[in-house]
Amino acid sequence: MPFRAFISADLPPLPALGELARDLGAASRDLKVVATDHLHLTLKFLGDTEEGLVPEIVGAMREACAGVGPFTIRVRGTGAFPNLARPGVLWVGIEGGEPLGRIAQVLDEHLVALGFTREPRPWSPHVTLARVRGRRGLDRAQEILRAHAEETFAEVRVDEVRLKKSVLGPGGPEYTTVDAVRLED
């Protein structure tokens, strides 16, 4: 039975991001704010995934992580895709995520052989905070993002990459870890 899947580096709960997410949610009811216990950096979105492919996906994760030891990223800055003037996704930025970019690139190359679509754009180091569903209250949300554009929220140690299952429900998605690969030198 297929399940909706993605590969990520997860963030621990960060109080500063929780506060920012609450402020954004209060600014506009047209924002779908991500639950702060679900914050992660998506390395590869897989979509519908056959359970029988899990061992091969985990093998690709191991290959992508080979030789990459644990490292620290800085959670810093805010912005929006495609841009702040016409936001569709509100995000917080990442500095020091180059090892994750390399992992994402290798995953993309290896997973094409399993039938997954190659990413059309280069990997962009960010954590999604909210998705825009309408236009009401966006001026205030844009002001909040501008006010935090240069702020450093936390430093986080990245020591594993996870294959996650996503089940969409009325309260938003629920994520569970299917398997994980630890980063080791």
Pick 139 or 136 by higher pLDDT. 139
pLDDT at 172 over 80: no
Pick 134 or 156 by higher pLDDT. 156
Supply the DSSP symbol for 52.
Answer: G
Q: What percent of the chain has pLDDT over 90?
A: 85
pLDDT at 79 over 90: yes
Name the average pLDDT for the chain: 94
Residue of 38, 110, 126, 148 with catalytic role: 126
pLDDT at 166 over 90: yes
How far apart, in whole angstroms, are the C-alpha atoms of residue 117 and residue 170?
28
pLDDT of residue 38: 87
The Cα diameter of the chain in Å comes to 48
Supply the DSSP symbol for 176.
Answer: E
pLDDT of residue 113: 93
Check if the beta carbon of residue 127 is closer than 8 Å to that of residue 40: yes
Contacts 24+ apart (CB under 8 A), 175-180: 175/38, 175/40, 178/5, 178/54, 179/54, 179/58, 179/61
Tell me: the pLDDT tens digits for 13-54?
Answer: 999 999 999 999 999 999 999 988 889 999 999 999 999 999
Structurally, what CATH architecture does the domain formed by 3-182 represent?
Alpha-Beta Complex (3.90)
Average pLDDT over residues 80-87: 93
- Told to judge if 40 belongs to the known catalytic residues of this protein, a careful annotator would answer yes
Quick one: pLDDT band at residue 101, thresholds 50, 70, 90? very high
Q: Residue 71's beta-bridge partner residues?
A: 158
pLDDT at 121 over 90: no
Residue of 38, 40, 110, 148 with catalytic role: 40
